[in-house]
Each structure stands twice: as C-alpha cells, then as structure tokens.
A and B are shown apart, each in its own frame.
Chain A
Amino acid sequence: MADHLLEVRNLSVDFHTASGVVHAVRNISYHLDRGETLAILGESGSGKSVSSAAIMNLIDMPPGKISSGEILLDGKDLLTMNGEQRREVNGRRIAMIFQDPLSHLNPVYTVGWQMREALKTHGIGNTQAQAEALRLFKRVALPDPERALDKYPHEFSGGQRQRVMIAMALALKPDLLIADEPTTALDVTVQAEVLNLLKELQRETGMGVLIITHDLGVVSEVADRVVVMEKGQLVESGTVREVYHNPQHAYTKKLIAAAPGKGEMHEPEASGDAILSVKDARKFYGGFEALKGVSFDLKAGETVAVVGESGSGKSTLARILLRLEEADGGTAKWKGKDLFTMSPGDLFKLRRDLQMVFQDPTQSLNPRMTVYQLISEAWVIHPEILPKAKWRERVAELLGQVGLSSEHMGRYPHQFSGGQRQRIAIARALALEPQLIVCDEAVSALDVSVQAQVITLLDKLRKEMGIAFIFIAHDLPLVRDFADYVMVMQKGEVVEFGTVAQVFDNPQKPYTQALLAASLDPDPDVQAANRYARLAAAS
C-alpha cells in the first residue's frame, strides 16, 4: 500500500497547566492524499487547531506534550525527527496559512522581505527569491505586484493580506498546505475569492489541503472529506456529502441542525407608529464620509438587520444612534425627540430605553465584578427602576430569562463560557427594561450551536417583551432566521431595504445579489449548484 501524503495516527496532545492536565487532542487519526482537501470541523475548544499545530511543530513544549501517536509525512514520522529536520520540513514540504493575516504578518517588515525570507531560508539566492516573489504575487492576483512587494502588511486590505499569506505559503511549492480558519476574518465576497484561489492553486500544484474550520459552509464549498472533532476527540469522518446528509454522531447532527438559514422567514407583524425614525444620518471621520445619509423606521417589537461588509458604516450607525459618537447630520427621532441633539439630562433618561450588546462579551464585561454586580449596576445608576431590597430577586429572574440560574450570581465572567457570557451581557441590557437593543455582531464570536441558542433567546425576548432590535451582522443566514427587515449597506449608503423575504428571495440590487451569492450554504449539493451557477454567470 502506498503511503498517504499525511497520516496522523493515534495522536494525543496534553497541556500541563496550573489547574491540571488538559487533554486537548485524544487519540485521533486521519489521513490526506495529494490533490485532496480534508476539512477538520469543530467548535472552539474542540482541539481542531492543536492537531495542525502538532504537524507544524508549533506547540510550545512545555506546557504542551505529545503523549502518543505518529505524524507520517510520506511515511516518515515527523515526531521522531530532530528540531533541525522539522525546520527543514516547515515551509518546504508543509506550509500554513492562518485566520488573521494582519497579526500573522510581521508588521515592521515589507511583505516582499517576508516573501524572500521564506525562499532564502530554504537556500534560494536573493535575486532568484526576488523574481520568484514577484511571480507569486502576480499569481495570487495582487494589484500592482511590483510595488506591492515594497509595502508593509498594514497597507493592504484583509483579503489582500490573505493573498500575501497564500503566496508566501506556496513559495516553495509545498506538498501540503494547512489552512487554519483562512477566511473567518474576511467578508463573504472576499471569502469566496480566497477559497476560489486556494482551489485553483491546488489544481495547479496537486498539493493536499488540510482546512480547519468551524463553518459548515466552508466545508461544503472546498472539502472532499471531513472529520468532525468534539472536545479533543474525532467523532465522525467521511465524505462531505455523506456526513452532511447522513450524520451518525449526535454532535454532528447537532452542528448541522444548528446551521442557520433554513428556518421560516419572518413576516413583519408589528403595527403602530415607529418608535425610532432615522432620517439622513451622516458621520464624517476627517474628510472621510462614513455614513452618507441613512434613513429608516423601526416599530416596537420589530427587528431591522443591518448587513454589509467591513467599511460599510454599519457599526458607525450603531455608535451614533447610542450617542457613543456624535452624528454630523440628520435626525433620529426617538418617540418624537431627536436623540442626536438631545440634552444630557434627556439622554440620561434615554439610556434606559436604548441598550447595546457588543460582539465580544469577554471584553465588554468587567472581569473584576460578579454577575450580580454587573447586572445590578444598572440600578445603581438608575435607582428609580427598582428598590434595592428587590435587586437580588430581580437578578435571579433575569438570569432565568436568559437561561442561566440564580446560583450563577456570585461568579465572575471568566468562570463562564463565551455563550454564557453573552447571555450575561443580554441580562445586563435587560435590567434597564429597554425598548430597543442594538446588537453589534452580538453572536459572531460564538460557536454555531451557541449562536442558535442566543438567537432563540433574543427572539423570545422580542415576542414576550416587545423589544425592538437593530441587529448588525455580516452573517446572512443568521439574519434570514431572525430579522423582520433587512437593510443592506455599502460604503456608508443603504443599497437595499426590504422585508427578509423580499431581500433574500428577490434581491434587486447587484450588490445584494453578490452578497447572497457569495454566502456559503452548508449543504454541499446546494453549494455545488450555486458554484455552478456562479461559473455559468461568469463565463
């Protein structure tokens, strides 16, 4: 039997920490052949990145320790090689690209320098390295490749930086490319371009690609086979189609069920007058116009989703509505009063009605305060809401509403998981009995299964308490499941506004169509059909 390009056998990785041994990866085995793409699918903490770090010898030891197993590259065990031999393999035989290309490129050297370093490290001369770097930059379609070589990482956009990373990884024509969440930080249209580029390059070079992701859509778009990991263990493996249509393990079933974008679309049912009416909102940053006149209305119990790619102005809109930043023009009438020009006294009262839930609960919750303190702080500031004697009871009630229990009151944020922390942030927002909650990418940082739970919770609050939501997101399937109206933004302008059904089923503007087309479907058959349609449209 011929050797596989890569074969991982019974690999176990432990981390020895102060609070005991963590078994990050337990006895996993998988293999990958040339020209093939294997996806490792899993949520945070599943150990999916640890196994690839082991292949690249990137695990810090200590605290890490590979307690068992073999990693065979063309039949030779990497784990028995010495440091120098491993170093020779890295870059030349196996290359890697990462999730966040900005932090993974050295900020103080030009990208050309970093490209040449990759080549020179493995014995290629300076002039040849320069020529090769230029050729690769052309191949990954960076604009103006000659000048791009002399630029620094911060001078590129996110998608371009990932192209630089890909060019650098492919410099020595590796047999195996490991891509760790390569498109998670990118906008959907850019994600589609980058994944497409990876597939093209794979066809040209015949390399094996190991892609690590939490996104079923990415799996269905690029992978041939998939292995599913949960809590360090490999729970399922098979071809993408098999696993999607006929999942065996309970966890895989749960993951597939949690993927958003399949539920019924809402029909807006709220009636009455608008509680918030935004007209022609504008915001400048120096000479740059971040918002070019945005208008929309919102009724009680209604959800407007604001979607758009980075730089579209969607977060700026949230910040000026909450007066975290001042608007430079337009009005926003909240129950008849313009909140852009409201006096500080009125604004203080308004803070009760308007709350915000941020993207990262780890950063937005003060780590030194207990859950009780975090939630009851609202009443310290607005004492008219609730007499102190009732605080404890009400905190317990709020925790119950968001699916936590009163026992959690005395704990600190770090003792909770990401999803639980976001629930605490929501409970805190609810403490003021708001009428509008602005969610700025409130679920983007959460795992798919947790995302679904939080969305269900928000939907329940909307129905039961009549809270209106402005839901800022880049994830279209999620929006489809949750919103009443969708507002598509591009470069500070509203491109399209309509009910969910109108926008998703019958998008009018090319930009909206492009966004929807680039969005990945977890079903490999649907995704293949989309891809086919896209290619047909392109040719």
Chain B
Amino acid sequence: MLRFIRKRALASLISLIGLLVMVFFLSRLTGDPASLFLPVEASAEMKAEFRALHGLDQPLLVQFGQYVGDVVTGDLGESLRKARPALDVVLEAFTWTLWLAVITMTLVTVCAIVVGSLAAFRTGGFFDRFSSMLSLIGASVPDFWLAIVAIVIFAIQLSWLPTSGTGTLAHWILPICVLFVRPFGIIVQVVRGSMISALSSAYVKTARAKGVKSGPIIFVHALRNAMLPVITVIGDQAASLLNGAVIIETIFGFPGVGKLMIDSILQRDFNVVLAAILVTAFAIFLMNLVIDLAYALLDPRIRY
C-alpha cells in the first residue's frame, strides 16, 4: 500500500514538473507585465527598473531556473498586484473553492446515489422516467445560462437571495445550486446504469433466495458493487470544481481560485497563476489518490 502511494507520488511529481514548465513558458508568451502594470506614460527607464526589480530582464531560462529553485524551497514568489506572497493569495482563494466544491459534491453524491438507485430498482417505471428526464436536462443545461436565470428569478425578481458576493450563508445557496445541476445529471445516469447491472447480477438473485429485504438488496448488496464506476465519475466532476468553476465564480463574484486565476491571467500576475496551478494540481493529485484508495476499500479484489 505504501509502495503504491510512493509510486503514485513519483508519477505525479513528473507530471507536476511538466505542467510547471508548460505554464511558465506559455504565460511568458502572453505579453510583458511591465507595460501592463505601469501607467501608459511610464518611461523606458521606469519599465527597465520594474523588470530588474522582478527579475523580468533575465533570460527566460534563468528566470525559470530561479523559479524552480524557489518552488523547491516553498517560495512561490510575490504577487505583483497584491504585494503579498503568491501562495498566501492562492491558498486564501482555494479555501473558498474547496468549501464550495466539498459542499456541492457531498450533496450531489448523496442525491445522485439515492435517485439513481431507486430509478434502477424499477426500470421503466414512473420514477425512472421522471429522473432520467431530469438528469438529462441537468447534464445538458449550460451553467452560465442557469446562473444568470437563477439570479434574475431568485435574486432580482423574488429578492430571496443575494445576487453575488460573500458574507452570509445565503450567499452560498445560488452558487451551490447552480454548480449542483450538471454533476448531478451526469452521476445519476452513471449510478442508474451501474445499479441496473448490479441488480441483475447473480449475487442479487442469491440474496433474494435468502429472503433478504429489498432495502438491503439495493443499498447493501448492489450499491457497493455499483460504486466503482461511480466514484471515478465523482472524482472527475470534483476535479473540475476544484479547478475553480471559473464562469460560475465570476458570475457570482465568488472569491475562489477560478476567479483568482482569470483575474491574474488578465493582469499578467505570473506568480499567482503559477501558484494557483500548482496548488490545484496538488489538490487533484491528492483527490485521485483518495479515489484509488477508495477502490481498494470498496472492492477487496483490488489490492495495491
């Protein structure tokens, strides 16, 4: 088990380095921060001074070497805009995103499993058809449109909820509800499909022959077997939320990592962009590891 974790960590390290290289050089292609930061009338000397201060006058390879050296020692550099360590800025935003993702995915997982399982138990019944329709709509509706419509209805017309920002619990409701819809739609479909095959399996027949009640047959016998493909998709959906739901965070003015990244890219705040990418990549690596371990926990035939 430990060997497995070590091996995975090593493999992830390699992809993290690759990611770092790519993002570092690509971000340098987007333009010069000096001309963006300083006022339009700034003199050439002032620009040169600014570049020298932030090491932007060095050859790219030297900049990169320095950056990697700093990363290894845990220093991700200063934010050019905020004059604070980039890592602090990112971690602050990431905490918001993490909460949003955790709450949303918990709700999604619980609801999707219950709805998908019950739909699978009576295939073709009213509940199945109703939930299939609902999940199909959920999986296909564009979230930015849904966000705007939700703001118009619940925030502007009904005035029940704030339009954007943070501060009270009420501020969380709309972003969570909007983010809930697509993963819910997708996961319900996966749970349903996976549960249909689990419920038609031979061991379910054995359980019925033993006289086991319907409840335990669905939620004890079939569900645990059906969970493997489901947690793969849950992980996939959670990853896209951890990356920062860029559009939704922007629409709701939510100070998460997605919004931070977009803002930093527009402002050429390289250190923050890089720090944000590293932090989310690390978070996604951790999550994938948890998913792999969850496989082994759910299915005794999988051992690392």
Q: What is A's interface to B at a CB cutoff of 8 Å?
A: 56-58, 87-92, 95-96, 98, 100, 103-110, 117-118, 121-122, 152, 154, 165, 168
Contact = CB atoms under 8 A, between A and B. Distances in A.
B211 A88 contact: yes
Given A58-B209, A87-B211, A98-B205, 20 more contacts: A56-B209, A87-B212, A88-B211, A90-B210, A92-B211, A95-B209, A96-B209, A104-B206, A106-B221, A106-B225, A107-B225, A108-B225, A108-B298, A109-B224, A117-B216, A118-B211, A121-B211, A121-B212, A122-B211, A154-B300
Nearest to B209: A96
Contact of B211 (A90, A104, A108, A154): A90
Nearest to A152: B300
Contacts of B210: 90-91, 95, 117-118, 121, 168
A165 B205 CA distance: 13
Q: Which 4 A-B pairs have CB atoms at the shortest separation, nearest pair first?
A: A91-B211, A90-B211, A103-B202, A106-B203
Interface of B: 201-203, 205-213, 216, 221, 224-225, 298-301
A104 B213 CA distance: 17
Nearest to A110: B300
A73 to B, nearest CB: 14
B56 to A, nearest CB: 55
Given A108-B300, A152-B300, A91 B202 contact: no
B205 A104 contact: yes
A121 B202 contact: no
21 contacts: A58-B209, A87-B212, A90-B208, A91-B210, A98-B205, A98-B206, A103-B201, A103-B203, A106-B207, A108-B224, A108-B299, A108-B300, A117-B207, A117-B210, A118-B210, A121-B211, A121-B213, A122-B211, A152-B301, A154-B300, A168-B210
Contacts of B203: 103-107
Contacts of A109: 224
A62 to B, nearest CB: 9
B296 to A, nearest CB: 11
Contacts of B211: 87-92, 118, 121-122
Contacts of A152: 300-301
Contacts of A56: 208-209
Contacts of A91: 209-212
A107 B301 contact: yes
Contacts of B212: 87, 91, 117, 121
Contacts of A168: 206, 210
A95 B208 CA distance: 10
A56 B212 CA distance: 12
Contacts of A96: 206, 209
A167 to B, nearest CB: 12
A78 B213 CA distance: 18
A402 B201 CA distance: 36
Contact of B209 (A90, A100, A110, A117): A90
A103 B224 CA distance: 15
Nearest to A89: B211
A352 B298 CA distance: 47
Contacts of A122: 211
A417 to B, nearest CB: 24
Contacts of A108: 224-225, 298-300
Contacts of A92: 211
Contacts of A87: 211-213
Nearest to B213: A87
Interface centre among B203, B224, B301 (most CB of A within 10 A): B203
A58 B210 CA distance: 11
B148 to A, nearest CB: 44
B17 to A, nearest CB: 33
A110 B299 CA distance: 11
A357 B228 CA distance: 35
A168 B300 CA distance: 21
B4 to A, nearest CB: 18
Contacts of B213: 87, 121
Given A106-B225, A107-B300, A58 B208 contact: yes
Contacts of A89: 211
Contact of A58 (B205, B221, B299): B205
A168 B201 CA distance: 18
Nearest to A118: B210
B3 to A, nearest CB: 17
A522 to B, nearest CB: 29
B230 to A, nearest CB: 14
Nearest to A87: B211
A154 B302 CA distance: 11
A122 B210 CA distance: 9
A89 B210 CA distance: 9
Contacts of B216: 117
Interface centre among B209, B221, B224 (most CB of A within 10 A): B209
Nearest to B300: A152
Contacts of B201: 103
Contacts of B205: 58, 98, 104
Interface centre among B201, B208, B210 (most CB of A within 10 A): B210
Contact of B301 (A58, A118, A154): A154
B225 A104 contact: no
A107 B299 contact: yes
B22 to A, nearest CB: 38
Contacts of A90: 208-211
A201 B213 CA distance: 28
A51 B160 CA distance: 61
Contacts of B207: 106, 117
Contacts of A100: 202
Nearest to B224: A108
Nearest to A178: B209
A107 B204 CA distance: 11
A128 B216 CA distance: 21
A96 B225 CA distance: 22
A165 B221 CA distance: 16
A152 B225 CA distance: 14
A312 B203 CA distance: 29
Contacts of A117: 207, 210, 212, 216
A105 B206 contact: yes
Contacts of A107: 203, 225, 299-301
A92 B209 CA distance: 10
A122 B201 CA distance: 23
Interface centre among B206, B208, B221, B224 (most CB of A within 10 A): B206
Contacts of A103: 201-203
A107 B228 CA distance: 13
A250 B181 CA distance: 64
Nearest to A60: B200
A96 B202 CA distance: 12
Contacts of B221: 106
Contacts of A98: 202, 205-206
Nearest to A93: B211
Contacts of A106: 203, 206-207, 221, 225
B304 to A, nearest CB: 16
B202 A104 contact: yes
A485 to B, nearest CB: 39
Contacts of B208: 56-58, 90
Nearest to A53: B205
A78 to B, nearest CB: 13
A165 B211 CA distance: 15
